Structure 1
Amino acid sequence: MNDLLMLIIYCALLGSGVGFLAGLLGIGGGLVIVPILSSILLYLAVLPAEQVVIVAIATSLASILFTSTSSAIAHHKNGNVPWDLAPWVMTGVALGALISGFMASLLPENIVRLVFAVSVTLIAIKMFYSSTKSDSSVERKMPNKGALTFFTTITGGLSAMIGIGGGAVLVPLLTFFSLDMKKAIGCASACGIVIALFGSIGYISSGMSHFSLEDGFAGFVYLPALLGIVCTSWFTAPLGAKATHSLPVPLIKKIFSVLLLVTAISMVVS
């Protein structure tokens, strides 16, 4: 009981920071949740080490369903969700996340860890570089809706595979096609709901043969950790969204890139 209470307290502290970052950057929080929750689960010896990462990823996705909803509502109120693009982007990320979730149990843990670290490191370098360039950079036309859905299917699959809400991959993609940074973050927040929903369905379904509800699991999702994260992240996400509305774009990009690098290193070290 003491260990369970400590787990919930640790996860509540994690959720408070994750919620703010989710609102600020549209990342859903998975980039922070996955390495830190992995460390918490290992420290408290909740389950065997070889199962920690996949449980952390699945639990992260489930928490993002709530955190991204809170964040997206706040971004919508600030006019930062481009609803002309969002349905096509959501369709793509839903397909990718669902496929990735069902494939989860087939992927070796080391491959998942490597994909996570390499992906976010490359994204961080690109984002930091773009934050130092002038606003006079080349304007790129947004692809047609079919191509946009195809690209976002890939980002949705990658996001669900590494347990993130999608912003870490989706925001750089949308800003590459010259969408305003704040609107890209708002769109990513809305799409994080879809990635989390369909990814969680896959992780819950594929994990039913590995864990039982009696032990606190819904498939690969660890429910006590989910409760701890969500009980605070729901309330701090709107604060981050409000900060996005007032902070300059280059500063947001620098924060984004530094966070990605730190979390990539944390995942490799853990």
Structure 2
Amino acid sequence: MPSWPLDQVLPLAIALPLVGIAAGLIAGLLGVGGGIVIVPVLYHVFTVLGLDEAIRMHVAVGTSLATIIATSTSSWRSHARKGAVDRDLLRSWGPFILVGVAIGSLAAGWVKGPVLTGIFAGFALLVSLHMAFGRPEWRLGHSLPTGAAKAGLAALIGGCSAMMGIGGGTFAVPTLTLFGTPIHRAVGTASAIGLIIGIPGTIGFILTGWNAAQLPPFSLGYVNLLGVAAILPTSMAAAPWGARLAHSLDTRLLRRAFAVFLFLTSLRMAYGLLN
């Protein structure tokens, strides 16, 4: 187990609560669980601290999923009070999302770190382009799919989200809007999907990383408890602020904010992969 010098741990303890504030705001504002910020920041922090490249991305993803449990809970409650959570959709999609999360968590435990980095960067870029240049009137259908298509779509959202360490909003928000769901209701529902992803995803990354070599101090598998403890308090406090802000913004601004964060995240992760 690598040792982190005190002069490195102290800046980390100061910086990560600030990351938590940003993650909480984004979780409430965009329904993405904050992972879109936490994963790349943790990845670069672990790089500076010299964490083995073979597990660096795994620990960033696993730690992010653990924080998503709390931030999504806080964000979901705030959106639910405003009536922006589709509970029928959650009951219908929930079991298939869980299947996808199980598959994604197991797959992530087997693939190499650079592969996870590439997956994160690639999907983030695609979704950001859609949110930036897509038009509100674009539709794949007037209602969400049913039957096998519904099961496959929900499982895909769960699996990809678990592998990337993000809440379901990154995929759920554009998917729901393409099938006619208003953006604010899509964001509110996605915050609850993040909770469905976060709990089993965290368990999966703990189990798949239990015997991994060179884990950082205070880790349960691929979940670093120091990172979770530093980020959670501020992210939970900030999530309701973001949820309130989301209901005071117009649709265009909300879409642009979502696109900017995803695009910047993609660039940062691609840069790390290439270098």
User: Shorter-chain TM-score: what band?
Assistant: over 0.9
* Separation in 2, partners of 1:5, 1:109: 26
Moved more, 235-244 or 7-16: 7-16
Q: In 2, are the aligned partners of 1:99 and 1:202 still within 8 Å (CA)?
A: no
Tell me how far apart the structure 1 counterparts of residues 253 and 92 of structure 2 sit (CA, whole Å).
29
Residue in structure 2 matching 1:118, options 109, 122, 125: 122
User: Pick from 81, 86, 90: which aligns with 2:85?
Assistant: 81
Deviation at 1:91, TM superposition (A): 2.0
Q: What residue number does 2:220 align with?
A: 218
Unaligned runs of 5+ in 1: none
Q: Residues 218 and 252 from structure 1, CA distance in 2 versus in 1: closer, same or farther, beyond 3 angstroms?
A: same
| Cα separation, 1, equivalents of 2:127 and 2:74 | 25
1:142 aligned to 2:144? yes
Is 1:176 aligned to 2:178, yes or no?
yes
Q: Name the counterpart of 2:103.
A: 99
More deviation, 207-216/155-164: 207-216
Question: Where does residue 229 of structure 1 map in the other structure?
Answer: 231
Superposed CA RMSD in Å reads: 1.9
Residue equivalent to 1:28: 33
Structure 2 residue runs of 5 or longer lacking an equivalent are 1-5
- The letter for the 1-side match of 2:40 is P
**How far 1:146 sits from its partner (Å)?**
5.1
Instruction: Give how far 1:161 is off.
Output: 0.5
TM-score, length-normalised on structure 2?
0.91
Q: TM-score, normalised by structure 1?
A: 0.93
Percent of matched pairs sharing the same residue: 35
1:129 — aligned with what? 133
Is residue 8–residue 227 contact of structure 1 (8 Å, CA) maintained in 2? no
The residue that corresponds to 2:16 in the other structure is 11
Distance in 1, Cα, partners of 2:34 & 2:181:
22
Q: Does structure 1 retain, via aligned residues, the 8 Å contact 2:140–2:178?
A: no
Partner of 1:60: 64
Aligned equivalent of 2:74: 70
Q: Tell me how far apart the structure 1 counterparts of residues 33 and 188 of structure 2 sit (CA, whole Å).
A: 11
Contact 2:52/2:214 (<8 A) preserved:
no
Q: Distance in 2 between matches of 1:111 and 1:186?
A: 31
Aligned partners of 1:135, 1:205: CA distance in 2, in Å? 43
Paired residue secondary structure (1:90): helix
Residue in 2 aligned with 1:158?
A: 160
- Alignment check: 8 A CA contact 1:212 1:219 kept: no
Q: Offset at 1:30? A: 1.1
